[in-house]
Structure 1
Amino acid sequence: MGLKKKLGLGVASAALGLSLVGGGTFAYFNDTTEVNGSFAAGTLDLNAQPTTIIDVKNIKPGDWMNRAFELKNDGTLDIDQIKLYTDYKVIDAEGNNAGEDFGDHIRVNFLHNWDKADTPIFFTTLSELKEMDETELYEKVFVPWLGTFGGYLAAGTSDTLLVQFEFVDNGKDQNKFQGDSLELTWTFEGMQGPGEAK
C-alpha cells in the first residue's frame, strides 16, 4: 500500500472518529416540570345507640313497648341507603310450640313519632321482616323514616328512629308461648351513593 493510500485511510479514520465523538456532544434547550396527585377514600361509619334496643321480661299478649334509637353517620361520606337485616332465635321454654314461631306474634310498628302519630308508617311481624327484601324494606321504612334528610343519612348527622314492638293478642289460645323468649338481632348496613364528578 502506498503512502498516499495510508495517509488517506488515516485521515478517513480520524474523520470518522471525530464525527462519532462530536455526534454525542451536541447541545439543546430543555425544561422539565412535575405534577403530583393523591387519592384519599372517604369512609362510611354507621353507628347505632343504644346497641340494645329492647330487653323486656314478663310480656303477655296485648303488651306493647315503645323504643327509640339513634342511627349516626360518623363517616365522611353520605349514606345513601340503609339496609336492615333481621335475625332472631326463639327459646321454647316448655318445648310445646308445636312448630309455631314466636316471631309470628311479635309485630314491629315503625313510627315517626309515637306522641303525634297513632298509626305506624309501616308494620310487620318479626318473622315477615326476617324474610323481607332489603330494597322493599328501605322504600317502606327508611325513606319515610329518614324523610327529613331525603331518605339518606348525611355525613356527620344522626336521626332518632322510633319503633314499637307489640305482642299481638290474636284472640286465641297463646299459652304455648308462656316462658318463651326471643333473641333479636338487627343489622344495619349503610350503602354509599352513586359516583360523581369531583
Structure 2
Amino acid sequence: MSMKKKLGMGVMTASLGLSLIGGGTFAYFSDTETTNNTFAAGTLDLSIDPAKIIDVSNMKPGDTMVREFKLTNSGSLKIDTVNLLTDYKVVDAKGDNAAEDFGKHIRVNFLFNWDKESEPVFQTTLHELKNMDPDVVQKEVWDPLWEQKGGLTAGSANELWVEFEFVDNGKDQNVFQGDQLEVEWNFNATQGEGKDI
C-alpha cells in the first residue's frame, strides 16, 4: 500500500472517529408525557323570588303590608355577602309635597318569620335605607341569618319577610294623597375570599 493510500485511509479513519464522537454526544434515552389541565371559574347567581316584592295601592297612614321573598343561590360558589342598595322616586300627584319626602313616612321592617308577633330584626325608613351604607342590611339581617353557615351556600335559599308600614305620625299627612313611590331594590352578591383548593 502506498504512502498516499495509507495517509488517505488514516484521514478517513480519523474523520469517521470524530464524527462518531461528535454524534455520540446527541445519543440519549428520552420519554415524553403530556398532561391536560383545566381551570374553570365558578359562578355567582343570586335570584330573588318574587321579582316584584310589593305592589299596592290605596294605602293610608297606619297601613302595614307583610311580604315574603326568597334569596336563592343558583350558582356554584358560596355567596358571602349581599348588599342592598335602595333607590326610589316620589311621584307627587298634586305637586304640593314641598319639602316633604314620602319615603320618610314608609317604615321597612325586616323579619325572620311572618308571625305578626315577630319583632323586626332591623327597621328603618325607605329614606334612611336609600342614604345608608349598603352593607348595613348585610350586617343587620343576612349576617345573623347566615352566622352558622358563613354565607348562602350554592344551591340553597333563605326565605325572608319584610313589612312596609305607612307610618301614621298623628299629624296632617294630606300632602301624600294620591302620591306614589317607585322603589328599586338592588341586591348585590359577592363571593368570599379565595382559598387553597
Q: Per the shorter chain, which TM-score range?
A: 0.7 to 0.9
Cross-structure match for 1:187: 186
1:28 aligns with 2:28: yes
- Alpha-carbon shift at residue 99 of structure 1 (Å): 2.1
1:154 and 2:153 correspond: yes
What are the equivalent positions in structure 2 for 1:40-51 lying under 5 Å apart? 40-51=40-51
Q: Which amino acid aligns with 2:110?
A: F
Letter in 2 for 1:160: E
AA in 1 matched with 2:156: T
Offset at 1:71? 0.7
Matches within 5 A, 1:130-169: 130-144=130-144, 146-147=145-146, 150=149, 152-169=151-168
Q: Structure 2: 5+ residue runs without aligned partners?
A: none
TM-score under structure 2 length normalisation:
0.88
1:91 aligned residue: 91
Structure 2 residue aligned with 1:102: 102
Aligned length: 195
Change over 3 Å in CA distance of 1:48–1:9 after alignment to 2? same
Contact 1:81–1:151 (8 Å) recurs in 2: no
Q: Deviations over 1:103-130 (max 9, x none)?
A: 1111100011131643211100001001
The structural deviation recorded for 1:192 is 0.6
Following TM superposition, where does structure 1 have runs of at least 4 consecutive aligned residues deviating by more than 3 angstroms? Answer: 3-14, 147-151
Cα RMSD over matched residues?
Answer: 2.4
The two structures have a TM-score, normalised by structure 1, of 0.87
Q: 1:114 is matched with which residue?
A: 114
Q: Report % sequence identity.
A: 54
Shift of 1:159: 1.0
Distance 1:93 1:188 in 2: 29
One-letter amino acid matched to 1:111: L
Structure 1: gaps spanning 5 or more residues: none
How far apart are residue 151 of structure 1 and its match?
Answer: 5.1
Q: Which moved more, 1:21-30 or 1:134-143?
A: 21-30
Q: Is the 8 A contact 1:68 1:162 kept in 2?
A: yes
The separation in 1 between residues aligned to 2:30 and 2:81, in whole angstroms, is 54
Q: Which residue of 2 aligns with 1:58?
A: 58
Q: CA deviation at 1:19?
A: 1.7
Q: Which moved more, 1:82-91 or 1:31-40?
A: 31-40
| Offset at residue 135 of structure 1 (A) | 2.5
CA distance in 1, matches of 2:70, 2:131: 24
1:186/1:151 Cα in 2 relative to 1: closer, same or farther (>3 Å)? farther
Amino acid at match of 2:118: D
Q: Residue type matched to 2:128 in 1?
A: E
Which deviations, in whole Å up to 9, do the C-alpha atoms of 1:69-97 show, x marking residues without a partner?
A: 11111111111111111111110010011
Tell me the amino acid that sits aligned with residue 36 of structure 1.
N
Q: CA deviation at 1:28?
A: 2.1
